[in-house]
Structure 1
């Protein structure tokens, strides 16, 4: 089974608090686009600006409005371990399918500390945990051996999002946990087919905010073994990858580009990443429109 899970953008008001009425528009767009799941407050969701109470309230509101229309996962990271643990359990109580947690960051770490962190978290969370491996942000990449040990020791560590530039790392994770039932997702959209070929479960990629229809079509074509369409759709995803590099915080650009898809939301992002050169926006808009046009021609 392959899946596309959306690490969803968060729509903020002028005070950098979630504007839930506008976030409803995003939810409806993604659900109607046919995605398999939504990850709330991942990196694309700019979780770092929100305090504990903001996150908890947002988790409740999001779950209530979604109303079982799609699987929900929650990014429960907080500055302190205790808050991460408590928020993880709160999200599980609300009904989230699992929580996704990036390991300790800022201070240097290693396999030993990473294993201690996730092991303690798993033994105190009453639900499924997905590890978020993102070395560009955490400064450390979990080893296949450490991940295997964590999976063997904790039945509720059920998956991992691997946001790495070198997909061979994903392959090594899959080989280390073969037949253990864990789900490993690519964190970059263009690694989707590689992920599946190496035994992974799909993708948790941010381009699905913009093109949930293309992404759900790609997943459907893959499941149905329609290889000709699968490769064409994958090619469209690859053409969109330059959008990530147009600005230092692509979430702000993506929110503006969602208007191109008919989702009328504020593009407000966290300071100081709430600025965008109009030339950058126009370049992104032109690229997105070209890919949408090509997609329409496939239908």
Structure 2
């Protein structure tokens, strides 16, 4: 069973013409997060900009993350694609480099039928001997994974859970009802809904804000598990200051700039076409960092 705070780590880039991968920054950030107490590192999530990396870069970066983590916590890796063939190829290569679990986003740009979604996930699951986590993020794919599809996929031996980033608590409760009836787990992917999700029985969060605020997110997880509701509410509400700042730019430009301004790691910019933050936005990021005593 997955528990605690899992960080979907940003992918650091150099400020060179190619915006090449910055491995020293990735190692520094990985060590910072594990020292802060996160329960897992997740490469190639949305904040990890998987959508602008080549397959070769995805394998190379994830291989380095596996090396940097060195079995201290589980390593999760994103292996979804628009085509089943590409997702299988990526999943099998991820398995070879030693990740502990795969997260698989549903195909984006198109809107597959229920039958097609089931086939997509079942074929990927059959190609590897690794736990598979479904990834529901309708704001990026254009649709929710239907409850009927998730219920059917939960019967597969190595499809073990779903990350729900919909922010829809009614949908989350329906997913959680599947988890209660099967060997299956829901992981919350909406940082503002962590407390709500734990109330419904969820016990793990894949939280992008934990890149910058791992101690806060870990403390929130502990407070919720220990039924310290007042403390949990205080911590949950505190995250809203960062979440408001993140809206000042295209994902993940503000988060990456905040990590740099806080001197946590020189993670560089988001890849183009996403542009760097302006001096005016930097001033607002610094104000946010001062709220958390990070500047």
Interval of TM-score (by shorter of Structure 1 and Structure 2): over 0.9
**Would you identify which runs of 4 or more consecutive aligned residues in structure 1 move more than 6 Å?**
none
1-structure distance, mates of 2:136, 2:265:
32
Shift in Å, 1:43: 0.7
2-structure distance, mates of 1:274, 1:32:
31
Provide Cα deviations, 1:27-70, integer angstroms capped at 9, x if missing partner: 11111111111110111000122212211111211101211122
1-structure distance, mates of 2:220, 2:20:
34
- Residue number in structure 1 paired with 2:55: 52
Whether the aligned pair in 2 keeps the contact of 1:63 and 1:72 (CA below 8 Å) is yes
Provide Cα deviations, 1:180-201, integer angstroms capped at 9, x if missing partner: 1312112111100111111222
SS in 2 for 1:217: helix
Provide Cα deviations, 1:109-150, integer angstroms capped at 9, x if missing partner: 232221121122112222111111111111111111110111
1-structure distance, mates of 2:178, 2:58:
34
- Residue number in structure 1 paired with 2:105: 102
User: 125, 128, 146: which is aligned to 2:149?
Assistant: 146
SS in 1 for 2:292: helix
1:253-264 to 2 correspondences below 5 Å: 253-264=254-265
1:1-299 to 2 correspondences below 5 Å: 2-13=3-14, 14=16, 15-152=18-155, 154-249=156-251, 251-292=252-293
Q: Give the structure-2-normalised TM-score.
A: 0.92
2-structure distance, mates of 1:138, 1:226:
36
1-structure distance, mates of 2:107, 2:243:
28
Provide Cα deviations, 1:59-88, integer angstroms capped at 9, x if missing partner: 211101211122110012345422321221
Whether the aligned pair in 1 keeps the contact of 2:81 and 2:106 (CA below 8 Å) is no
Q: Give the structure-1-normalised TM-score.
A: 0.91
| RMSD over aligned Cα atoms | 1.8
How many residue pairs get aligned? The number is 291
Distance 1:181 1:238, change over 3 A: farther
Shift in Å, 1:9: 0.4
SS in 2 for 1:178: helix
Structure 2: gaps (5+ residues): none
Structure 1: gaps (5+ residues): 294-299
1-structure distance, mates of 2:279, 2:131:
42
